[in-house]
Amino acid sequence: MSSNKRAGEESHTISGLALRRVAAVLACLKVLCPDANLRAQQLASKILTLAHGEECPTFRKVITPAAVYEMLTRNSQCVLNRTGRCPLLVFSQQFSEELNSFFQED
C-alpha cells in the first residue's frame, strides 16, 4: 500500500472520529442545555476544534524578493582581497535572526 493511500485512509479515519466526537458533544449539549440556541452550539464546536489543536487555518507568510534583497544587503558586505576580487561576506547569525523575526508569528 502506498504511503499516500495510507495517509489518506488515516486522515479519513481521524476526520470520522472527530465528526463523531463533535456530534456526541452537540447531542450532550442539547440534553444538558435544551434551551441552547444555534450560536451556543457553534461555540461548542469551536471550543472542540481549539481543544483538539485544529485552530483556524493559518495563513502562510511569504517573503518577497525585494525583502530578501533588503535583508541580504543589510547582512552582507564585499571584502576586497589582494587579487582584486570581492568575495561576499554574509553575516549568517544576524541574517538568520532577521529571517526568524520575519517569519515569527505575531
User: Does residue 57 fall inside a structural domain?
Assistant: no
Q: What is the pLDDT of residue 1?
A: 52
Q: How far is CA 39 from the centre of its chain?
A: 27
Average pLDDT value over all residues in the chain: 77
Whole-model pTM?
0.41
Of 104, 106, 105, 73, give the one whose Cα is nearest residue 91: 73
Task: Clarify whether residues 73 and 39 are in a common domain.
Answer: no
Question: For residue 89, which of 67, 100, 73 has the smallest C-alpha distance?
Answer: 73
Query: What is the domain count for the chain?
Result: 2
User: What is the percentage of the chain residues whose pLDDT exceeds 90?
Assistant: 19
Higher pLDDT, 15 or 54: 15
Domain that holds residue 41: 3-51
Alpha carbons 102 and 55: distance in angstroms, whole number: 22
Shared domain for 34 and 73, answered yes or no, is no
